[in-house]
């Protein structure tokens, strides 16, 4: 039998040959979107800290104070060690912010999706997932054992066709993203909620990239206030400048998650400092809609200057086709002092390798102009 090491080498060689190997690069985040890599200073467009709150004095102070008061780790699962008062406060504030009865906080967004989906669907049930949905939604689908179908991206006709053809027995859950993480476009939530209602399906959204950015920070749901969404998932790790994930929904739905979701039951709770940082960030978001408007305004300044379709969120894709083209563009921008990550299959469909730019409240206007001038050269 082949040794484990030989197996790993062979796998890596295949990835290298296809230009698909991923590696970690030591990078130190400095102030706001500026970073240091190999002794050089870069402006980064690869960070989801949309509001630059990870370095906000009030957010840092809240985390520091929580460590001083409560220590660093949660100690055990929330159900075992007892629930930290900060968790209850954070969940109450998230539910109020999203306009739901209750919320449940997990240790990551990944855990929120992989824990929530199997709570509501299992074998003999049906999942309908947007084909561009995040990897952790697909992971949750697999864990659930439900029959999972991908519907064409934001395509209500394809979704309806699949819903009407599905076995009428069993529960139906539609899962989509609010803002798509690799394309930056927005799901039509009002229309999706109507389709869900017509076919007796539940609707779940993942708004990791909408919260803090769209609709004065209220997220994609805030753009579609009349859409009925049963489960609104999100993460504390992006605009909320911390770590952790959450799901908002009815009291009963959240109570069921808290007794059934395996990633909550069998995983240690969020550290108190992460809860405190997220609470402080949430307070800033609620009080400062002007700050929340900056990432989209900056993304739009860029798309105008680069002659690209107008940005609809803080994420702008520049699609270049083959992995080699995306890697070459990444290198050109790096030489200009811009850190922009090339996204390749399998993260995005074959033939759509791209640069993915994430704009934040801290990107200076003159640098946006200079970046647009560079991008115009190879996006033409
Ligand atoms: C980042 C992300 C997640 C995972 O959240 P983490 O808190 O980083 O685990 C889930 N869904 C989407 C769409 C994301 O972009």
CATH 3.40.640.10 domain range(s) in the chain: 74-270
The tokens for 304 are: 């105008």
Q: How far is the CA of 197 from the centre of ligand 1 (A)?
A: 27
Please list the residues that pair with 338 across neighbouring strands. Answer: 43
90 closest CA partner among 247, 203, 238, 228: 247
Whether the Cβ atoms of residue 363 and residue 43 lie closer than 8 Å to each other: yes
Question: What are 88-123's pLDDT values in tens digits?
Answer: 999 999 999 999 999 999 999 999 999 999 999 999
State how far Cα 85 lies from the chain centre: 26
**245 within ligand 1 shell (Cβ under 6 A):** yes
Whole-number Å distance between alpha carbons of 258 and 104: 7
The residues carrying an active-site annotation are 48, 134, 177, 181, 206, 209, 238
**356 within ligand 1 shell (Cβ under 6 A):** no
154 closest CA partner among 239, 220, 231, 68: 220
Whole-number Å distance between alpha carbons of 281 and 284: 5
Say which residues have a Cβ less than 8 Å from residue 252's Cβ, sequence separation at least 6. Answer: none
Q: How far is the CA of 109 from the centre of ligand 1 (A)?
A: 5
Whole-number Å distance between alpha carbons of 58 and 61: 5
Q: Whose CA is nearest to atom 2 of ligand 1?
A: 208
What's the CATH code, domain 74-270?
3.40.640.10
- Ligand 1 atom closest to residue 136's alpha carbon, by position in its atom list: 10
344 closest CA partner among 317, 314, 323: 323
* DSSP string covering 237-299: SSTT-S--EEEEE-HHHHHHHHHH-HHHHTSPPPPHHHHHHHHHHHHHHHH-HHHHHHHHHHH
Question: What are 254-277's pLDDT values in tens digits?
Answer: 999 999 999 999 999 999 999 999
Whether the Cβ atoms of residue 115 and residue 106 lie closer than 8 Å to each other: yes
Q: Whose CA is nearest to atom 8 of ligand 1?
A: 109
Whole-number Å distance between alpha carbons of 28 and 333: 18
Which pLDDT belongs to residue 380?
60
If phi > 0 it is left, if psi is from -120 to 50 it is alpha, else beta; for residue 41 that is beta
| C-alpha triplet 49, 54, 56: angle, nearest 5° | 125
pLDDT truncated to tens, each residue of the chain (380 aa)? Answer: 899 999 999 999 999 998 778 889 899 999 889 999 999 999 999 999 999 999 999 999 999 999 999 999 998 899 988 888 999 999 999 999 999 999 999 999 999 999 999 999 999 999 999 999 999 999 999 999 999 999 999 999 999 999 999 998 999 999 999 999 999 999 999 999 999 999 999 999 999 999 999 999 999 999 999 999 999 999 999 999 999 999 999 999 999 999 999 999 999 999 999 999 999 999 999 999 999 999 999 999 999 999 999 999 999 999 999 999 999 999 999 999 999 999 988 889 999 999 999 999 999 999 999 999 999 987 66
Q: How far is the CA of 98 from the centre of ligand 1 (A)?
A: 18
Provide the whole-model pTM.
0.95
3-state secondary structure of 350: coil
Q: How far is the CA of 181 from the centre of ligand 1 (A)?
A: 9
Whole-number Å distance between alpha carbons of 69 and 75: 15
Q: 21-53+290-379, what's its fold? A: 3.90.1150
Whether the Cβ atoms of residue 151 and residue 173 lie closer than 8 Å to each other: no
CATH 3.90.1150.10 domain range(s) in the chain: 21-53+290-379
Residue with tokens 């579609």: 224
Q: Whose CA is nearest to atom 7 of ligand 1?
A: 109
């Amino acid at each position: 039998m082949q040794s484990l090491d030989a197996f790993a080498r062979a796998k890596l060689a295949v990835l290298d040959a296809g230009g698909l190997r991923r590696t970690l690069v030591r990078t130190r985040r400095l102030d706001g979107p500026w970073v240091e890599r190999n002794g050089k200073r870069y402006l980064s467009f690869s960070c989801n800290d949309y509001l630059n709150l990870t370095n906000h004095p009030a957010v840092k102070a809240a985390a520091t104070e929580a460590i001083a008061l409560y220590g660093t780790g949660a100690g055990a699962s929330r159900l075992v060690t007892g629930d930290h008062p900060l968790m209850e406060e954070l969940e109450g504030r998230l539910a109020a912010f999203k306009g739901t009865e209750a919320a449940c906080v997990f240790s990551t967004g990944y855990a929120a999706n992989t824990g929530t989906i199997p709570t509501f669907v299992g074998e003999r049930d049906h999942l309908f997932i947007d084909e561009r949905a995040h990897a952790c939604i697909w992971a949750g689908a697999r864990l659930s054992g439900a029959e999972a179908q991908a519907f064409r991206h934001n395509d209500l006709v394809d979704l309806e066709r699949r819903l009407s053809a599905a076995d009428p027995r069993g529960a139906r859950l539609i899962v989509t993203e609010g803002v798509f993480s690799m394309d930056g476009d927005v799901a039509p939530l009002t229309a999706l909620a109507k389709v869900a209602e017509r076919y007796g399906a539940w609707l779940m959204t993942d708004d990791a990239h909408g919260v803090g950015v769209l609709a004065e920070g209220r997220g994609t749901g805030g753009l579609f206030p009349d859409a009925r969404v049963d489960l609104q998932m999100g993460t504390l790790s992006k605009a909320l400048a911390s770590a952790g994930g959450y799901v908002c929904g009815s009291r009963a739905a959240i109570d069921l998650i808290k007794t059934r979701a395996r990633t909550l039951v069998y995983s240690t709770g969020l550290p108190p400092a992460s809860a405190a940082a997220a609470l402080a960030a949430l307070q800033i978001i609620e009080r400062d809609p002007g700050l929340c408007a900056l990432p989209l305004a900056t993304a739009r300044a860029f798309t105008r200057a680069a002659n690209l379709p107008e940005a609809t969120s803080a994420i702008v894709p520049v699609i270049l086709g083959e992995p080699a083209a995306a890697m070459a563009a990444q290198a050109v921008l790096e030489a200009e002092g811009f850190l922009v990550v090339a996204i390749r299959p399998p993260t995005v469909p074959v033939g759509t390798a791209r640069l993915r730019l994430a704009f934040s409240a801290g990107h200076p206007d003159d640098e946006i102009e200079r970046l647009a001038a560079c991008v115009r050269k190879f996006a033409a």
